[in-house]
Amino acid sequence: MDPSGQTAAIKYLKEQNSTNMFHELLTDEILAAAPVTEPERQHYFIGKLRDYIQMQAGAGSDSAEHMQAGAHRSLTAAVVTFGCQMNARDSEKLEGILSEIGYTITQDEQAADFVAFNTCTVRENANEHLYGRLGRLKQSKKADPDKIISICGCMMQEADEIEKLKVKYPYVDIIFGTHNLYTFPELLFMLFRKRQHAADEIYTAGKEVLRTSSDDRERMEKLLRYGSGPSNLKDIEKLSRRPVISVWKDSGDIVEKLPSRRKYSFKQGINIMFGCNNFCSYCIVPYVRGREKSRKPEEILEEIRLAAADGVKEIMLLGQNVNSYAGGLNFAGLLKQVDELCDGIGIERIRFMTSHPKDLSDELIETMANARHVCRQFHLPLQSGSSRILQRMNRHYDKARFLDRAARLKAAMPDISLSTDIIVGFPGETEEDFLETLDVLKEVRFDSAYTFIYSKREGTPAASYEDQVPEDVVKDRFDRLLEVQNRIVDENLDRLTGACLPVLFEEISEYDKDLITGKLENGITVHVPADPSVIGTIRKVRLTENHRFYYTGEL
């Protein structure tokens, strides 16, 4: 690049808009001095961004009065999460980074200076959700062009969704994927540079990329070189408003020790593994989350120790298929170590999500039954009760094996609460197949079932199956399934009405502010009239009434 040409253009831009200074905190030198090892590199950018945001917040207090008083308007950030527990945990990491940079976390995405959407793409309606929310932000972005909108998560691992965003939602500022979530500080730094007419420098740690905005880099460099003609400057300005994009194809890396901010002070999700190798024929998760990677037991135990020191009472070990944990020991081994660790440090409850029935070993059941802190709750996704459909789903178990696993769990822990996931209308599902599913529901009698209508995901094997089930048939089966399951839940929950059991109180009820919502050890919700000071504590509650999906009770 011809450095004098760039200087001329930038000098001109600076004169044009003095508030849009190429600030000394965003220079090429500062970028070049970033460490190349992680997490040091991201911590470096967090530090630089903190200085930059502080400077911006100061400049943002526009009235002279404010300036004199030295008052700072604190910048705000909202993180909107779609999807599963894994995404919820990732959002806590984003919030942790944003807080360290100096943003105040808010729920109000319309008013926030920074909004992150952490997306899910497991079913079509998850995608529609995002586009709805994004559309509703258009006006507030128009009113405040400096508002930053960033999108990450599973949906961004699909190249056609990125293209759609670029065309239909050009007001999105940052796009990144599941594999490089940890580079978020760096990407935000790049965005501020780009807004001030620097060329994109997308660092990919040598990884194969799905999409980046590096094309913009070449164009920007060219434009900067051509000097400062008016149409040229207009193009530079336009290019500087385009999004910073960095989405990787996969990554073997697990980057530890970045900030994170707990949503609840008393409970925390702990990732034990990432990704999935199972390729169930309907499911997009393995494509967007990549292959399985397990965290080291030392890292997991250390994170739990720190959480306990911080007052956490409940942890949930997270993974798409926790039973295939392979961090030098298996999941049962890890669970045993976690249980022993929790003995002296104040963590009372250990949960885990999700287990695949094909990998549910007797060893795990035994470990669970003998553990002191592992909750008597098991989420065991059935998907279908028909062995024929299970085979087409590539689930590697049949109806008999599933029933055997469920029976084994109940025999080892009679007070266990079982829950499941079911897909209705998988391609080729006949009435007989569906009746098999109802049959398993009636036999296992789950305390709760998350039921989904099959959603065709492009790129998965099942999307190309020819025998898709007609919508009206699916709808009818779905309604019948709910009817059966609701009746079972109603009868099941009666078993505990009148009992006096420990409840961990979590929050003020969404529906009635005089009630505090908590969870039994088995995961079932309880609403109790109580003072908000009980939140975060475990108290004994008498369960007075069964409302099918929850109880009401009294302290």
Instruction: Examine residue 392 and tell whether it contacts ligand SAH (CB under 6 A).
Output: no
Buried b (16+ CB within 10 A) or exposed e, 515-545: bbbbbbbbbbbbbbebeeebbbebeebebee
Instruction: Examine residue 321 and tell whether it contacts ligand SAH (CB under 6 A).
Output: yes
Contact 74, 98 (CB under 8 A): no
CB of 90 vs ligand F3S, minimal distance in Å = 8
Buried b (16+ CB within 10 A) or exposed e, 385-394: bbbbbbebbe
Instruction: Examine residue 76 and tell whether it contacts ligand SAH (CB under 6 A).
Output: no
Strands 550-554 and 538-546: antiparallel
Binder to ligand SAH among 115, 187, 223, 285 (CB under 6 A)? 285
State the binding partner of 481 from ligand SF4, ligand F3S, ligand SAH, none, CB within 5 to 8 A by kind: none
CB of 154 vs ligand F3S, minimal distance in Å = 3
Binding to ligand SF4, residues 399-438 (CB under 6 A): none
Per-position x/- string for 499-518, each x denoting binding to ligand SAH as judged by CB under 6 A, each - no binding: --------------------
Q: Which residues contact 472 (CB under 8 A, 6 or more apart)?
A: none
C-alpha to C-alpha distance for 410 and 412, rounded to whole angstroms: 5
Binding to ligand SF4, residues 222-281 (CB under 6 A): 276, 278-280
Work out the number of other CB atoms within 10 angstroms of the CB of residue 51: 16
Instruction: Examine residue 120 and tell whether it contacts ligand SF4 (CB under 6 A).
Output: no
Instruction: Examine residue 289 and tell whether it contacts ligand F3S (CB under 6 A).
Output: yes
Amino acid at 205: A
Binding to ligand SAH, residues 433-462 (CB under 6 A): 452, 454-455, 457
In terms of CB distance, is 233 or 280 closer to ligand SF4? 280
Work out the number of other CB atoms within 10 angstroms of the CB of residue 206: 5
Contact 100, 259 (CB under 8 A): yes
| Burial environment of residue 45 by CB neighbours within 10 A (0 to 12, 13 to 18, 19 or more) | buried
In terms of CB distance, is 101 or 154 closer to ligand SF4? 154
Dihedral angle over CA of 428, 432, 438, 441, nearest 10: -80
Binding to ligand SAH, residues 119-158 (CB under 6 A): 122-123
Among the candidate windows 9-17, 117-125, 225-233, 478-486, which touches ligand F3S by CB under 6 A?
117-125
Q: How many residues bind ligand SAH (CB under 6 A)?
A: 17
Q: How many residues bind ligand F3S (CB under 6 A)?
A: 11
In terms of CB distance, is 321 or 437 closer to ligand SF4? 321
**Region of residue 7 (phi > 0: left; psi between -120 and 50: alpha; otherwise: beta):** alpha
State the binding partner of 279 from ligand SAH, ligand SF4, ligand F3S, none, CB within 5 to 8 A by kind: ligand SF4
- Supply 534's token pair: 């009980």
In terms of CB distance, is 78 or 285 closer to ligand F3S? 285
Instruction: Examine residue 120 and tell whether it contacts ligand F3S (CB under 6 A).
Output: yes
**Region of residue 394 (phi > 0: left; psi between -120 and 50: alpha; otherwise: beta):** left
Dihedral angle over CA of 182, 187, 192, 194, nearest 10: 170
C-alpha to C-alpha distance for 438 and 435, rounded to whole angstroms: 5
Residues that bind ligand SAH (CB under 6 A): 122-123, 282-283, 285, 320-321, 354, 356, 381, 383, 421, 423, 452, 454-455, 457
Residues that bind ligand F3S (CB under 6 A): 83-84, 86-87, 120-122, 154, 285, 288-289
Residues that bind ligand SF4 (CB under 6 A): 276, 278-280, 283, 285-286, 320-321, 356
